Chains A and B, each alone.
Chain A
Amino acid sequence: SAVISQKPSRDICQRGTSLTIQCQVDSQVTMMFWYRQQPGQSLTLIATANQGSEATYESGFVIDKFPISRPNLTFSTLTVSNMSPEDSSIYLCSVDPGSRSYTFGSGTRLTVV
């Protein structure tokens, strides 16, 4: 299975600022997924990122708030823009290296103050 390196592992940010989260995979993958896990809740898919095309966002998530880059088949970034305390969550990236064996990064714990 794929190994995912996600960073930063945690951050405390001021409201109104932006944070970019990086996700690096040790193998080439077609799709990368970004999830949010709010405190005490389950994982919610934010968007799916394919290399060479615009990310596909789920209902309730927009590109202006969560811009995503996917410059190649092993890397993606998610930016949380103009942050508010409601954005405090764990953000995770995930890939499917094949055979529907979805693998997750260790997550980024974001606190907005």
Chain B
Amino acid sequence: AQRVTQPEKLLSVFKGAPVELKCNYSYSGSPELFWYVQYSRQRLQLLLRHISRESIKGFTADLNKGETSFHLKKPFAQEEDSAMYYCALGGNEKLTFGTGTRLTIIP
């Protein structure tokens, strides 16, 4: 079975401080991991995928198969990063979502 765990429901970080949103997964196959973000009053949108190995809006995430993790990181938080973040696992052509972390950046 596919499972995604985001242990923090809420996370508050000061502006300029580093951010790390945790995500762990459980999947017997070869995982595809995603981070989605939902800003206030906007639709859910793809932030990044592990397969692309890209950096979007300063965020990066590395897939660690040994620790079954896909933590989202940003070295310096900005106020516009305040949003709801969901980690998702793709397998069998469908996505399984974590419960999400609400990130608040304190000015």
Contact = CB atoms under 8 A, between A and B. Distances in A.
A100 B90 contact: yes
The 6 A-B residue pairs with the shortest CB-CB distance, nearest first, are A104-B44, A106-B43, A43-B97, A42-B99, A42-B97, A104-B43
B86 A102 contact: no
Contacts, number: 44
B49 A42 contact: no
A38 to B, nearest CB: 11
A53 interface: no
Nearest to A103: B46
Interface residues of B, number: 20
A92 B44 contact: yes
A70 to B, nearest CB: 15
Contacts of B97: 42-44
Given A33-B94, A42-B97, A48-B94, A100 B51 contact: yes
Nearest to B42: A106
A78 to B, nearest CB: 16
Interface residues of A, number: 20
Interface string A82-99: 000000000010101000
Interface in B87-107: 88, 90, 93-100
B98 A102 contact: no
Contacts of A96: 93
Contacts of B45: 103-104
26 contacts: A1-B46, A31-B93, A33-B94, A33-B95, A41-B99, A42-B100, A43-B86, A43-B97, A45-B95, A45-B96, A48-B93, A48-B94, A94-B95, A96-B93, A100-B90, A101-B49, A102-B34, A102-B46, A102-B88, A102-B95, A103-B46, A104-B43, A104-B44, A104-B45, A107-B43, A107-B44
B32 interface: yes
A42 B86 contact: yes
Interface in B66-98: 86, 88, 90, 93-98
A33 B49 CA distance: 19
A92 B36 CA distance: 14
